[in-house]
Amino acid sequence: MATVVVRRASQADLGALMALYEELAGDKITAAPGDRATSERLLAEILTDPRRELAVALVDGHLVGTADLLIVPNLTHRGEPWAIVENVIVAGTARRTGVGKALMGHLIELARTAGVYKLQLISGKHRAEAHAFYRSMSLNAVAEGFKIYFDE
């Protein structure tokens, strides 16, 4: 197991984040990050959002993973917020080394501390290894997910 440091992303992480998001997108061109200038502006906006935690995981000073947590105010469930995790990626070279566990553990603890009543994420049906990992982190497949993409 590698020694993993998880922290909030910073503007200086943009290049490494874009490389990870390229890996996450794979062959799906519409899922790739935007141009550098747009990404700089968007990252600055994300980093100032108090309901959002864009976390990064580092091993030996190299950024090898990221995940994005959003905590959403809620009128149901006694006013307790809910949370969603999106854009989870660990570099292929760093998988099965504890990076994902440290990253998701960090976000789960932040959500718990924020008093959310649930944390959810959506993962493609074909990603069996990722699903096994999420189950190991106490996330369970309890619902059917639905999406509509407007860029395809």
Buried b (16+ CB within 10 A) or exposed e, 20-46: bbeebeeeeeeeebeeeeebeeebeee
pLDDT, residue 152, reads 64
Q: How many CB atoms lie within 10 A of CB 117?
A: 14
pTM score of the predicted model:
0.92
Identify residue 110 by its one-letter amino acid code: L
Pick the CATH number of 4-136 from 3.40.630.30, 1.10.3720.10, 3.30.450.20, 3.50.50.60: 3.40.630.30
Give pLDDT < 50 ranges for the chain.
none
Q: CA nearest 47: which of 25, 23, 17?
A: 17
pLDDT, residue 145, reads 87
**CB within 8 Å of 124: residues ≥ 6 apart:** 130
- 149/131 Cα distance (integer angstroms): 22
**CB within 8 Å of 117: residues ≥ 6 apart:** 74, 77, 78, 80, 81, 82
Q: Where are the domains of the chain?
A: 4-136
